[in-house]
Structure 1
């Protein structure tokens, strides 16, 4: 019998303000990588609560996700896979972000062009994909621009 497929459940947040996106910088296996504020779902935590917690830990900002951009399945290797729930928050003004998590070395407000230029310094292809999906959804300007959070069942068992 083959081992059951058990992807990691993760959350991330596209944080946008005035044409720029907030990315976190981290050192992974000695390499600098860039990502949205993101992390793993913890026991007895809703996806929305997990995202808000990760935003606070990695940026110091107290934000609640406003909508769901998408749900992504990604395999980093044969034995490492993820189901990533990517949310979004739109800010009126850029806020100074100070990471509380020691793994995060810095934060950056970057344009789409600057993010594309990072290339393989992005933690995964989902960083750019979720930003492009976010932008495509807001460019359509058709309600709902993003999936409302009410889609997610947050009842605890």
Structure 2
């Protein structure tokens, strides 16, 4: 058997009111909430993937400003291991944009509202990454060496 981890990106985006950009989506027959996130495509720069996923899932043009960290998660539902490159980003502009298939809506929610979602969160990484951000975890983008950039 071949082990095939999935490389993904996510972006923590906070607005001036202390709310975080979240995505409400269909996943495995459930409605879940997550940060703007998704898979890195072949030959795609990691930062480009973060920008693309945010735009496709929320309609917002996001500029990654810092690297928050690399998170590992093995999903109990499917046994897949995900390596999640998580960024801190700034929402620059909302663009009228058709959202990806499976996306219900984008929302701006407080951390308290996100915590109240409980088992509707896509994974424990949703709250963990916001808490890390709130605790000041922050690295320069150049800690990632990506020849595609």
1:6 corresponds in structure 2 to 4
- Is 1:148 the counterpart of 2:140? The answer is yes
Structure with greater Cα Rg: 1
Instruction: List gaps (5 residues or longer) in structure 2.
Output: none
Q: What displacement does 1:39 show?
A: 0.3
1:64 corresponds to: 63
Give the TM-score taking structure 2 as reference length.
Answer: 0.89
CA distance in 2, matches of 1:25, 1:98: 16
Query: Does the 8 Å contact 1:98/1:106 carry over to 2?
Result: no
Structure 1: any 5+ residue segments left out of the alignment? 138-144
- Corresponding residue SS for 2:25: strand
Give the 4+ runs in structure 1 shifted more than 4 A: 94-99
Deviations 1:97-151, CA, capped at 9 Å, x for gaps: 86521211011111010000000000000011000001001xxxxxxx6111111
Could you tell me which residue of structure 1 aligns to residue 14 of structure 2? Answer: 16
**1 CA distance for matches of 2:88 and 2:82?**
19
CA distance in 2 between partners of 1:88 and 1:97 (Å):
23
Q: CA deviation at 1:28?
A: 1.6
Alignment CA distance shift 1:98-1:123 (3 Å): farther
TM-score (norm 1): 0.85
More strand by share: 2
Equivalent residue pairs, number:
146
Provide the residue aligned with 2:133 in structure 1: 134
Q: Is the 1:57–1:101 contact (alpha carbons within 8 Å) kept by the matching residues of 2? A: yes
Q: Counterpart in 2 of 1:25?
A: 24
